[in-house]
Amino acid sequence: MGLVHVHVDVEVNRARGPSARVRFLVDGGAAYSVLPHDVWRKLGLKRKRTLDFSLADGTTIRRRLSECRFRYQGLDAVSPVVLGEPGDAAVLGTVILENLGLVLNPFDRTLGPMRLTLASVPARAGYPVGA
């Protein structure tokens, strides 16, 4: 296999304001994305809540969360983001990948369109379709 990195533009969720292009490590095992300390400070992101995270060695760390807009190859979506501390790596997690409708192909190390499905529920007596 190997590591997969992509360049993604991030910005505050508003029409105008600072933005940054970040080289992220795509991590299919991470739920949330992590923005490096200097990037989220430049964007002016503010903490919305705090969560505990477990590291691979079992250590628990506490990190602040906010949200921002991610733009990648013509796609854009808003997602929660971990406000990294100095030394934390830029990580692109599965929540933003799903929000963008993308999936990691580990064989050719690319991001591609996700196969999206919806469940179909047959109409029942007294319930209109779509209700």
72 falls within a domain: yes
pLDDT of residue 49: 96
Write the single-letter amino acid at 106.
Answer: P
d(CA 19, CA 12): 7
pLDDT in tens, 36-61: 999 999 999 999 999 999 988 999 99
**In the block, residue with structure tokens 């505050």:** 12
130 falls within a domain: no
pLDDT above 70: percentage of residues in the chain? 89
Domain count, the chain: 1
Residue 32 DSSP SS3 = coil
119 falls within a domain: no
- Identify the CATH number of the domain in which residue 102 sits: 2.40.70.10
- The parent domain of residue 104 ranges over 5-113
Which two tokens mark 29? 């095992």
118 falls within a domain: no
124 falls within a domain: no
Between 120 and 4, residue with greater pLDDT: 4
121 falls within a domain: no
pLDDT of residue 22: 97
Residue 91, beta-bridge partner list? 25, 34
120 falls within a domain: no
59 falls within a domain: yes
DSSP state of 117: -
**In the block, residue with structure tokens 């990294």:** 84
Cα distances (angstroms) measured from residue 55 to each of 29, 71, 123, 124: 12, 28, 47, 48
| pLDDT tops 70 at residue 126 | no
**Under 8 Å between Cβ of 90 and 83:** no
**Under 8 Å between Cβ of 35 and 84:** yes
Which two tokens mark 36? 């490096």
Cα dihedral sign, 103-41-64-59: positive
pLDDT in tens, 101-122: 999 887 888 898 888 777 776 7
